[in-house]
Amino acid sequence: MMDAITTHSYKFRRVWTMPNKWTFLIPPVVDLLDRYCNDGEGWIDPFAGNNSRAEITNDLNPNRPTTFHLDALDFLRLQPSNYYNGVLYDPPYSFRQAKECYNHYGKDLFIQHDYKPTMMDYWASCKIEISRITKTDGIVISCGWNSNGIGNNKGFELVELMLLAHGGSKNDTIITVERKTAYTLDFTTIDTNLTGDAE
């Protein structure tokens, strides 16, 4: 027997706009941040770059104007659970982008090594940590080349999806806005320690 299909509605928009390596300067993104993030009080940004509105900011590059300069996953692991009003999640989208746009910072996150953990584990662990630190009803705004966001398996529901089309053969920038609806994960059973031995 087929499972019932459940859907919920969310706002969808596709707009043409010039690309910018500083995502938060793209006009439709500025508008979106105005609507959800305002002045960033109670928000946190682990890959903050130059233009974050979050109250607490981090970027591995010491030349970025952020409060902390740690690896994003290490930084997220230091944060309290169920605490933040919102998270801005705008990491580099590819090896090439990390190399060419962000002074090589984040390049390693796209290289598959022959030992565990894989880089997919890195991104999955970031999402688990983001889910853990966000309050119920808190918002996560994710930017990238896919619409996965943090995901409903981590207690989030999609509120808004925006495609930024840049013309030619350029990838769209895809922005998801999600709300944490439930504290569904038992974080005590999830090991996001990537230094553990391979099984």
Ligand X SMILES: C[S@@+](CC[C@H](N)C(=O)[O-])C[C@H]1O[C@@H](n2cnc3c(N)ncnc32)[C@H](O)[C@@H]1O
Site for ligand X in 135-174 (CB under 6 A): none
Residue 102 contacts ligand X per CB under 6 A:
yes
> Between 59 and 160, whose beta carbon lies closer to ligand X?
59
DSSP letter, residue 58: B
List the structure tokens of 172. 């769209």
Span of 16-24, 76-84, 155-163, 179-187 interacting with ligand X by CB under 6 A: 16-24
Q: Does 129 bind ligand X (CB under 6 A)?
A: no
Cβ contact 37:48 at 8 Å: no
Q: Are strands 56-57 and 43-45 parallel, antiparallel or unpaired?
A: parallel
Task: Work out which of 16, 22, 83, 187 binds ligand X, going by CB under 6 A.
Answer: 22
Cβ within 8 Å of residue 117, ≥6 positions away: 194, 196
> Closest by alpha carbon to 93, among 15, 148, 130, 134?
148
Residue among 122 and 156 whose Cβ is closer to ligand X: 122
Distance between CA atoms of residues 158 and 44, nearest Å:
19
Rule CB under 6 A: say whether 51 interacts with ligand X. yes
Shortest distance in whole angstroms from residue 165 CB to ligand X:
18
Which residues bind to ligand X, rule: CB under 6 A?
Answer: 22-25, 47, 49-52, 58-61, 64, 71-72, 90-92, 102, 105-106, 109
